[in-house]
Amino acid sequence: MEIESSLPPSTPTPLLALDPAAAAARFVELGLKPFHAKIARKEVLERGITDYAQMTALPSAARERLSAELPILSGTELERRVAFDRTTKLLISFPGGPRPATVETVHIPARDSASGKGATLCVSTQVGCPVACPFCASGRAGLVRNLEVHEIVEQYVRGRALGALSRSVVMGIGEPLLNYANVSKALDVVHDEMGLGSRKVTLSTVGFPERLRRIAPDKPRFQLAISLHTPDQEQRDVLVPAMKGVPIEEVLSAGDDWFAQTGREITYEYVLLAGENDSAGHAERLAQRLARRRCTVNLIPFNPVDDSGFGRPTEFSVQRFHQTLVEHGIIATVRWSRGLESDAACGQLRIRKQA
């Protein structure tokens, strides 16, 4: 049985879209042994091998048969951008659906990867995004479709092929809680078969309270980050349109419940937009909102998107914001974008390719 598929009928089902039992059955159909399926799946998921010819644990006749009959992946790499710091952004196209289904996956080597620390992989969960944040290239064209389980896993496989992974952030294109069933199954594969521990994976959401409360008891295999972007209700209604009318206190309270149930502290993400939400007053009000909450704030100076109308904050305002939070006893970090010259902001490469 196939796990699920949005593939058009003429497209062969790839190995990654088959669960272990279905893969074994397909291998038997091809005249191979069920354990060959297990070997092939392991080679793909554990070692990032995407060419049967390199799977030396399989008999050579099997490798030839599989190469002809059973693709491993369904996507196509349309473009690859490598920045000066070796941050690599892949633009991947998947078949099926009403419009071109392209997403971005970013492989970010650790600064000291020479010592073998591995890389962080940023993956997408939807094609386009229905949240429609005005500063984000991914939200501009709206949602095309959800990614299937195997399409999310494929991003990990492609990322693994670029170098060992030590962390992952589910922070690319899309809102993961709006495709949670598929995201959750994909993260099970990443955890169980690719060996990325649950504390090494961070899922980033705009924080739908009811959805958070529903999934907390499921022992989710990830850390949670909630994108807040402002302490002011009126401004959040504009910056995060899909959350319009959802009180910020309700989001924070769902975060508190999450922490109480999972024991995992939340990171609040805050994109600093020049002249919009980067003032000392914003920092003060954010500190008041988060007072007595065990959490971390991750400040992200905005990476300019063409004609978005938003600008990059000055280093002074970033430092002032950070310092204000620290003075209120809040743990805060600043995440400067890596690979700025390579369409680094989420969704920029995808938008340019479609333009």
Per CB under 6 A, residues contacting ligand SF4 are: 129, 131-133, 136, 138-139, 173-175, 206, 346
Cβ neighbours around 352 below 10 Å, total: 13
Query: Is 276 an active-site residue?
Result: no
Residue with Cβ nearer ligand SF4 (207 or 339) = 207
What's the chain's length in residues?
355
Which residue's CB is nearer to ligand SF4, number 37 or number 272?
272
Minimum CB distance to ligand SF4 smaller for 116 or for 245: 245
- Catalytic residue flag (residue 346): yes
The distance of Cα 280 from the centroid of its chain, to the nearest Å, equals: 31
Cβ of residue 208: shortest distance to ligand SF4, in angstroms? 11
Residue 139: count other Cβ atoms within 10 Å of its Cβ: 23
Report the DSSP beta bridge partners of residue 165: 119
How many C-beta atoms lie closer than 10 Å to residue 292's C-beta? 5
H or E segment to which residue 138 belongs: helix 137-140
Beta bridge partners, 271, equal: 300
- What angle (nearest 5°) sits at the alpha carbon of residue 349, between those of residues 203 and 181? 30
> Which is catalytic among the residues 104, 151, 154, 175?
104
Q: Where are the alpha helices (H) located in 9-148, listed in sequence order?
A: 20-29, 34-47, 60-69, 137-140
Rg (C-alpha) for the chain, rounded Å, is 21
> Shortest gap between Cβ of 132 and ligand SF4 (angstroms)?
6
Residues with catalytic roles? 104, 346
